[in-house]
Structure 1
Amino acid sequence: MSNINILIVEDEAAIRGMLTIVLEQAGFSPIAAAEVDSAQKILADTFPDLILLDWMLPGISGVEWARRLKKDPSYRELPIILLTARGEEEDKVRGLEIGADDYLTKPFSPKELVARIRAVLRRSGKLQGGTQIVLGNLILDTEQHRLTIGEKQLDVSPTEFRLMQFFMTHPDKVFSRTQLLDQVWGRSVYIEERTVDVHIRRLRKILGDYGKEELVQTVRGFGYRFSLID
């Protein structure tokens, strides 16, 4: 995995150093910059596989730079994960609306960071090979396209498999129907929001057969959350 280059853009030296160490330990090749001007110079010489971008930066903000990159045909497909201390729902939605592929609210654990990076890289086709996502006794195998609870394999459709993959790599986070449509179905496909509800109901029924219906939770007024915590 050492051929996966990740550009870190973070102005706080301590966080930048921590992110560099975490990514190196995970087998990635990190390149760090303290602000957008330095990051732009790095881009002129190196095309990374993913950008880990702080929302608030001196000069040009991270979210503004992300917006510009996503409008540039040369960088439109370059995955971007925003790092933000902003926890408000409207800020998260704004981050995804400008084209960011994911967001992570500080503070976060190194394990979650690496899981989210790998999930975005898999979706973009930059990370190949069989991997398993494990939560409790749930195992999702992306190579064999299997979802199991204990030793029992669940009969899920391709869409429900992608939905579970997204949920399992983003546990305990609340997502609106629009966000789920963008992340699971894709931004280029027009599908009504109620389609999400239909697949959530099917997923709950399948999980309910194994006593796990409560894993997919409705957050009234916001959307859905996947959590092992009641």
Structure 2
Amino acid sequence: MQALPWLTVLMGCSTPPLVEGVWRPGPGASPDHIPGPLKNFGPYELAADALTAACPLILSKPNATVVHLQEAQPEVALRAATEYCAWLYVTPEGRYEMSMLSDSSRPGDGVRGMRSCALPAFVEDARYATGTLKQIFALHNHPFGTRLSARDLRFIEAMAGVHEWEVLTREGSIRLSIIAFFSRSRDASAPTCDGFYQYVPATREMMLWTRTGDLWKQESHGVVTWLDERTYRLDAR
């Protein structure tokens, strides 16, 4: 899956407002690289700490969660919902950082009643030589709190063709995966990080992580079996 050019689909042809930390490529920008690092994020020594910090940060962006609108104003929720995506990557020093966020939509999302985020394949961090960064987690939010889509899975499977399936870090081996954060809060002004879905191409396993206070609980949703190009089934391990 390749990065796609910026399209303004959320509000017709109007220019979307600037959002802190969000990168929108201008003319001449590489469609395959997103800048890093994200300002005021990390670096972190542990992957778990980086994920814990990334979740509320992404969910705090405008319309990153619309569960408060789903029942009363479903059409407004659909129009407003916005996905933000970024790479969590490992630097040569072994620390975890995050790229800037993208909120670029794919063509046709508005027409089909879908929302998605186009994430370039590579992070470009001017502090480091090309090829020295290790992309490990493709992060994004799901505004409606749904599980990972077939498009999400196909994307990270495609990324497994250009990135290492498993990266050796100071903590041990970390497998390439895609993560979708969600919030169940109905308070739009203070969305909570309630969990995330994770899919690992190396094992084809999908997992659900939920949070209660400072504790995280992992639940296996099964192993992915593809029925066709756009449909998958979850089988018990």
TM-score by length of 1: 0.30
TM-score by length of 2: 0.30
Q: Which structure has the highest strand share of the two?
A: 2
Q: Which structure has the highest helix share of the two?
A: 1
